[in-house]
Copies of this chain bind each other. A is one copy, B any other.
Amino acid sequence: MSVNLQGNTISITDQNTHHLANQMLDTQALPMILQQIHQDVIEEYGKGNVADYIPALAKVNPHQFGMAIRTVDEQEFSIGAADTAFSIQSISKLFTLMLALDIVGDDLWKRVGREPSGMRFNSLVLLDSEGGIPRNPFINAGAMVVTDIIAARSAAPARRIEEFIASLSGNDANRIDQLVAAGEQATGYRNIAIANLLKGMGNLEAEVEQTLDCYFKQCAMTMSCRDLARAIECLANRGRSHFKSSFHGEKMDKRINSLMLTCGLYDAVGNFAYNVGLPAKSGVGGGIVAICPGQYSVAVWAPELDHYGNSVLGQLALEKLTFYTHTSIF
């Protein structure tokens, strides 16, 4: 393979790709690589569908693409609509997990498992058969228990989550979109079912309504690719954030990264691990965040989803990124 980037040439053969993988990121080539990725992926517009279960999401222009990379030494690279805010949806599960671990530490694992589920993200089956302990914090049931930990220990839990995320991204404009939150609530029957089942099985501490309110609101956070790449910096940088120096994630980064790799993309975990090779978390707003441990964080956004609910262009862009930069962890 030979990639022509505006006059320059990066020659990548299948073979030396393999010899060169797991490399340090070559930041000099990155601007050209991002341009190439952009050029490649926008040809795939129209191959997915925008999430339509909430009006506020359904009306998003499908043909948008943004990407932002941030290295642990604070260099930032971006392309396309990297500063356009969108609904982060399930990516929020990552932030509530950080916050809950910060609050209760490893006691969290008494109430949520750490293994892949092999089921749809909103399945009730395993929950029912496994005593109310969700398989992992990235399926809805698990994320609800995580949210409940925060809800039961905060006066204004949704506000607390909102501020935690905004402090990680260093952007005070990162807020809950109340219209989206209301839409989640209005159509979220299955999530309401999950919360009540958890309560009935003794795995919710706060009132069902309180935990659900908080859960629906966190999904409705609005952030850009740049905000997200900054906000998850701590997971690439051994737990430390340049924006929120008070945050100490040293004890959770490895745990969360391994969880993202084994559970972060629902039923497409295996393929993503192979194609991209980075710990990642996706949301039905079309965003995906990923981590190259010790090197960089990356966020990508394109609203069209495949049938698993993952961004079509987002996955492709990340696959090309680790291919061109040889930074798959495998």
Contacts and interface: CB of A to CB of B under 8 A. Distances in A.
Contact of A197 (B189, B253, B259, B271): B189
Interface in A134-168: 135-136
A95 to B, nearest CB: 19
A55 interface: no
A255 B269 contact: no
Interface string A114-139: 11111100011110110000011000
Contacts of A208: 189, 192
A62 interface: no
Interface stretch (A12-20, A75-83, A217-225): A12-20
A193 B328 CA distance: 39
Contact of A22 (B193, B200, B251, B293): B293
Nearest to A127: B124
B329 A293 contact: yes
Contact of A254 (B21, B189, B239, B253): B21
A79 B4 CA distance: 50
Contacts of A330: 253-254, 257-258, 261, 279, 293, 329
A76 B259 CA distance: 32
A56 B193 CA distance: 26
Contact of A262 (B190, B238, B273): B273
A193 B193 CA distance: 4
Contact of A21 (B22, B189, B294): B294
Interface string A190-211: 1011111101100000001000
Contacts of A277: 254, 258
B115 A135 contact: no
Contacts of A270: 113-116, 136, 258-259, 262-263
Nearest to A118: B118
A274 B263 CA distance: 12
Interface in A9-48: 14-15, 18-19, 21-22
A115 B269 contact: yes
- In the complex, the 10 A-B pairs of residues with the closest C-beta atoms, listed nearest first: A118-B118, A189-B200, A116-B116, A258-B273, A18-B238, A193-B196, A114-B270, A257-B330, A193-B197, A115-B270
Interface of A: 14-15, 18-19, 21-22, 113-119, 123-126, 128-129, 135-136, 189-190, 192-197, 199-200, 208, 238-239, 250-251, 253-255, 257-259, 261-263, 267-271, 273-274, 277, 279, 293-295, 328-330
23 contacts: A14-B250, A18-B239, A18-B253, A21-B254, A21-B293, A115-B267, A115-B268, A115-B271, A116-B116, A116-B117, A116-B118, A116-B262, A116-B269, A124-B193, A189-B196, A190-B200, A193-B193, A193-B200, A254-B274, A254-B328, A255-B274, A259-B270, A261-B261
